[in-house]
Structure 1
């Protein structure tokens, strides 16, 4: 992943957690039907050059 600020290669697969909570942040979307809920853990990419942070999910196809 390239940094949109300085075009450097970003460090991927960084964990995102809320201070005091080890579970992190989850992204969810309610689907159609009973028990149809899509969730994914939020991850971050950090630019080692300028410090820019970008959030992403790996299983983004599940949200279509």
Structure 2
């Protein structure tokens, strides 16, 4: 994964922790007219060149609307 700011290679698979709350951040989506719900735990990538941080999920394909219509 390349940094959006400086195009340097980012360090992936970093953990995300929220202080004074539950550990980590989850992304979720409930599909309209359906009981189907998907969720994924976020990960972070850090650029050691400029300090830019990007959040991402590995299960991004599960969030495709065309698969839930």
The question of a shared fold, defined as TM-score above 0.5 by the shorter chain, is answered with: yes
Q: TM-score range by the shorter chain?
A: 0.7 to 0.9
TM-score norm. by structure 2 comes to: 0.82
- Higher strand proportion, which one? 1
Structure 2: 5+ residue runs without aligned partners? 65-69
What TM-score does the superposition give when structure 1 sets the normalisation length? 0.88
- Count residues with an aligned counterpart: 63
Stretches (4+) displaced over 4 A = none
CA separation in 1, counterparts of 2:19 and 2:6? 29
Unaligned stretches of 5+ in structure 1? none
